[in-house]
Structure 1
Amino acid sequence: MSEYLRHEAERHANTLQGSASDCEKRQAWHKLSEICLCQTILFNRRRSGEVSKMTVEEYSKNKLTNDDGELDGCLTKLEKDLCRYFYRTEIIAKRGRIAAVLFPRQVKENIDLLVRSRNSLTNCFNSKYLFPTISASSHIRGTDVLRSIAIDCGAEHPERLRSTKLRKHIATMTQLFNLSENELDILA
């Protein structure tokens, strides 16, 4: 699924930046928006509704993880190096809690392309959502996107690729790795 998303994201980003017709660019814009939403949900193992509701304003506050050196005391050299490759923003999660969302460089570049081109290609310029629907009145539903992409990518068991099951998977894996308190804090 990840390879499929990477390939489709590249294809639609090239269409957006190429000499395609406006109609083709609009279709590519909406498809790339769905792909970036799916990649963000998968990478972060977050509730799909939390990521779906991310606003342009929240996203615009992204920065390189640990850019301010706040975590330097508790990170290893490898962890500090990894922090240079992921951008981080904060969203309002379940029960009003603040939750971090990480973006790998390529996903961030594609989202930046979407933000730059949204005014000229879509009627979403006044939508507050980072991943707006075609009508721009609401946000794309992450559960619907995960479901359709799980089928489109040809996964053997597409029904297993849902945000709830992915969150349970990461919880199980952290138990199997028997992480220390500090390692669990870093993972969180």
Structure 2
Amino acid sequence: MYTIPILKIVSAASPNGSNLFDSVNLDTLLSFINIALLVKPLLLKHCSIYDPVPPLVLPNNVRQFIHASLDMEEKTVDDLWETFREEIWELEFDVDDLTETLGTRYIPLFLKHGPSNDIAFYNFSPPTRTCLDPGCDQEVSQYPLVSRPRELREQLHVPVTVFTNSFGAVTGHSISLYCRSEYP
């Protein structure tokens, strides 16, 4: 399904002079990567579409969710994210395939620890993250004569129930984004 270079995993044995594998076995590492991939669409909402780099640190709710789900120290969550964030960010995958493949194993964690951390297994977002009005472009600060579509902001989500063939009824979020320029 996805690959992370084995050298990266081996090099994780000594980030910052400590051995990450003293507190994390390979199964837990793979669970961390799988959960990070499942919440990646949520993480994308915290990043600009014009600056496609992973966040340096996980949002607190995601960090707490992984901490509770995998029963690991918060520092270990931070260290794993610091070590593998670039690889996780670069992995290309189909969200539906990933959900179908990993759902049976991880839905119980999302149902148990997700609500208290404002995280759902299913997230329904608008098909675009920029304003559709061509007159709503914004100037690029580095290039005053260049403009680009304005990013939608002010994420709001509403809890929903998703009825699935594979997993039955599961919690989800319906996400909306707002254009402050268009509707002040």
> Into which bin does the TM-score normalised by the smaller protein fall?
0.3 to 0.5
Using the size of structure 1 for normalisation, the TM-score is: 0.32
State the structure with more CA Rg. Answer: 2
- The structure where helix makes up a greater share of residues is 1
More strand by share: 2
TM-score of the superposed pair, with normalisation by structure 2: 0.32
